[in-house]
Chain A
Amino acid sequence: MTGDRMQPKAEETLTSSECRDLYRVAGIMIPASEEFGVPGADDPIIFADILRSFGRDLDDVRAALAQIAASAGGDFAAVDEPCAEALVRQACGRGDAAAAALGRAILQCYYRDDRVLRSLGHEPRAPFPKGHTVEQGDWSLLDAVRGRPQLWRDDRAG
């Protein structure tokens, strides 16, 4: 699946070093899990989707990656795993527009992956045209409300 409508042109996507850093960041933010049978956000299919789906967030994602790289002394690839995890946590904790865009760029692709959705009990498909079933629920609960005194104020009353 793709985010076709937001697909940037090739020259509008990340540089190779930004790609490398993002790949590592994605794997730290959402790692694969054997327990839940899901890939990480650095899975090749998911990561390819992320790379082509930045759309209007590209500049902010770049800014977030630049912040992380700067915090790593200019070379995020060179820091060890505990340090990398701490730097990613620190970047995400800023809560600014760049951090939000980075998180969104990863989440919007991770949570539309077929394998991830199936693991959550969701069908991997668009909502339309099949839709979903919603049960009516327990309408007898309304009996407790029917016949109660009027709550609204009648401005015509004296």
Chain B
Amino acid sequence: MAKNETVDVLIIGSGASGAAVAWSLAETKMRILCLEQGDWMKPADLPSNGRDWEARRYADFDISPNRRGRETDYPVNDADSPMKVANFNGVGGGTVFYTAHFPRMHPSDFRVRSLDGVGDDWPVSYWDLEPFFAENDRMMGVSGLAGDPGVPPRQPPMPPVPLGKTGTRYARAMNTLGWHWWPSDTTVATVEYEGRAPCINLGHCTPGCAQGAKASTDITYWPLALRAGVELRTRCRVREITTNEHGMAAGAVYYDAEGKEQFQPAEVVIVACNGIGTPRLLLNSASGRFPNGLANSSGLVGRNLMLHPWPQVLGYVEDSLDGGRGPMTVMWSKQFYETDPSRNFVRGYTLQFARGTGPVNEAVVSTAHGRLPWGKDHHRVYRTLLDHRLLIGVACEDLPEECNRVVLDPVLKDSHGIPAPKIEYRISENSRRMMEHGIARATDILQAAGATNIYASRTVLNSPGHLLGTARMGHDPERSVVNAWGRCHDVKNLFIVDGSVWVTSGGVNPTSTIQALALYIADSMKQRLATLFD
């Protein structure tokens, strides 16, 4: 096995959290290396450059790694889950492949046990993270509007995405009902921002932005981190983290771009592979000293998987709206976010209001739902659907349950022969009640907007791809995997910075909070450099 020079810090994974940590730690002038199993994405290769832009979302840009099946992907056995896994493997990770909706967790999300008697409190608060939220907003470039009574004060550096015809329609309905709404925070540049061109409404944000208006860490954090001296090696798939005779992480064994096995020694190892990849790696790093997987004396590595049940409710109006043009997400509502004792569930959800979709996707989804017939009536019905769609997502908080987990599949392996992850997940009764409440309220809104032909999907295939909770943080080593600043209780030079350290999930898209937490952990490390392993 080839052995490389020892680095001070080895980061595994270059996505939302890995990039933020790399950038933050770069100022220490330590030797920092990041190993990424995927490639750099080229803007010219993204789907919106071609006439087959919609077809590719079902092929090489499918959100499911199992269908996408790139050489750089690994398979996930999700047969034992009603919700399927979505992710992306490449420089930027899931930020290449997200809708760019960028809400923060709320203060109450960090205190769910104290406030609502469920789950557990986090060992950090919203206010601990607040300066890092703001720093991340500047780094990623957030568009939005200050003054929202639904969330704590913040100052997005760019104006919000347009309401458009679709948002205006929603807004009128929400005002009729007297319910809260506000333009969403997104990481879509609405003006020139730090070298990024403004959005030109390609309308196809999720599988990468050819314009470069959508923030992904390959175009935000990474150029700055590389300029500051961080090294990033692509097509390097880590098999396991090894440990030395002192029980400390020694480095990582990985396969390079040619498939050659390499060993990378490091003084500090930081794992940033998110809620599926991180427990997979820790479980694959079992050894005589750590027979149940690395950093797993609590038995909680892989457990408490949270996926955000995300019903979608759609309907159609007579007027022609924005269709698939423009950023997909336009506004949010926090009307039902906080716990209300009069409801039959605890915690709550964000309503996320979307524009329509493209011609192919409208046809594929509508035939699958049965509202678009085949045969002679196809054309007439289709013309009542395309560009007439309203769609509301219900972003439900998913509470942690130990039975929801990631394990190693006994049979399935990736292209390097590394055991693949298997997820075992069920939707809880509290979540189901919350979902039904959200579906009913979204239906109220669509009806107030004049929509008919209303349809609710309770679980949307391969969505939303929020992978959280499988190496949770906490003060008690018997009830958590990492401490309050991301260091593993069991291995004092091993850190985890991704969504797997989340204690609860909130009812929001997680990327903003994942990155704020990663910056917080990096800052904590910098403040403790002399005593990092004590």
Contacts and interface: CB of A to CB of B under 8 A. Distances in A.
Interface of A: 1-6, 28-31, 33, 35-36, 38, 53, 55-57, 85, 88-89, 92, 95, 100, 103-104, 107-112, 116-117, 120-122, 124-139, 141-142, 144-156
Contacts of A132: 200-203, 325-326
Given A5-B52, A138-B171, 7 more contacts: A36-B380, A92-B374, A110-B363, A121-B387, A132-B200, A148-B149, A155-B114
A85 B132 CA distance: 60
Contacts of B118: none
Contacts of B50: 4-5, 126
Contacts of A57: 58
A108 B364 contact: yes
Interface in B11-45: none
Interface of B: 46, 48-56, 58-60, 67, 69, 106-108, 110-111, 114-115, 125-127, 145, 147, 149-152, 162-165, 167-168, 171-172, 174-175, 180-183, 199-204, 210-211, 322, 325-326, 334-335, 337-338, 359-360, 363-364, 367-368, 374-376, 378-380, 383, 386-387
28 contacts: A1-B51, A30-B379, A35-B380, A38-B379, A108-B360, A111-B54, A112-B55, A120-B386, A126-B51, A126-B53, A127-B204, A128-B48, A129-B210, A130-B200, A134-B201, A134-B322, A137-B165, A138-B163, A138-B168, A139-B163, A141-B175, A142-B171, A145-B175, A145-B180, A147-B149, A151-B337, A153-B115, A155-B115
Contact of A112 (B127, B172, B360, B378): B360
Contacts of A151: 149-150, 180, 334-335, 337-338
Nearest to B181: A145
B181 A56 contact: no
Given A28-B375, A104-B364, A6 B59 contact: yes
B367 A103 contact: yes
Contacts of B387: 121
B112 to A, nearest CB: 10
Contact of B374 (A28, A36, A131, A136): A28
Contact of A152 (B125, B150, B174): B150
By secondary structure, the B interface counts as loop
A89 B374 CA distance: 8
A4 to B, nearest CB: 7
Contacts of A138: 163, 168, 171-172
Q: Is the interface of A mostly helix, strand, loop or mixed?
A: loop
A39 B505 CA distance: 49
A69 B522 CA distance: 61
Contacts of B115: 153, 155
A141 B181 CA distance: 10
Contacts of B110: 155
Contacts of A36: 379-380, 383
Contact of A131 (B53, B201, B378): B201
Contacts of B162: 134-137
Nearest to B336: A151
A100 to B, nearest CB: 7
Contacts of B147: 146
Which 10 A-B pairs rank lowest in CB-CB distance, beginning with the nearest? Answer: A131-B200, A137-B163, A134-B326, A132-B325, A111-B359, A137-B168, A128-B210, A141-B171, A127-B202, A132-B201
A95 B368 contact: yes
Contacts of A1: 51-52
